[in-house]
């Protein structure tokens, strides 16, 4: 991808992510928040294992 296209691509992904967060917050009443928290904890555990090695 060209550099100019990369910036547009990154901005599109960022906007999509924000829209999904707002959808979860307002439409689904934060129904998926526990799954997000568990995913963050799992990522933290894998990162801490990598740091300890």
Cα separation, 11 vs 6, whole angstroms: 9
Q: Is the pTM of this model over 0.75?
A: no
Tens of pLDDT, residues 41-50: 888 887 776 6
- Cα 39 to Cα 16: distance, rounded to the nearest angstrom: 19
Of the chain, the percentage scoring pLDDT greater than 70 comes to: 87
Q: How many CB atoms lie within 10 A of CB 14?
A: 10
Q: How far apart are CA 29 and CA 6, in angstroms?
A: 33
């Amino acid at each position: 991808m060209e550099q100019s296209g990369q910036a547009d691509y990154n901005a599109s992904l960022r906007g999509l992510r924000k829209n999904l967060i707002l959808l979860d917050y307002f439409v689904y009443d934060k129904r998926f928040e526990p799954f997000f928290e568990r995913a963050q904890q799992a990522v933290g555990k894998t990162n801490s294992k990598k740091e300890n090695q």
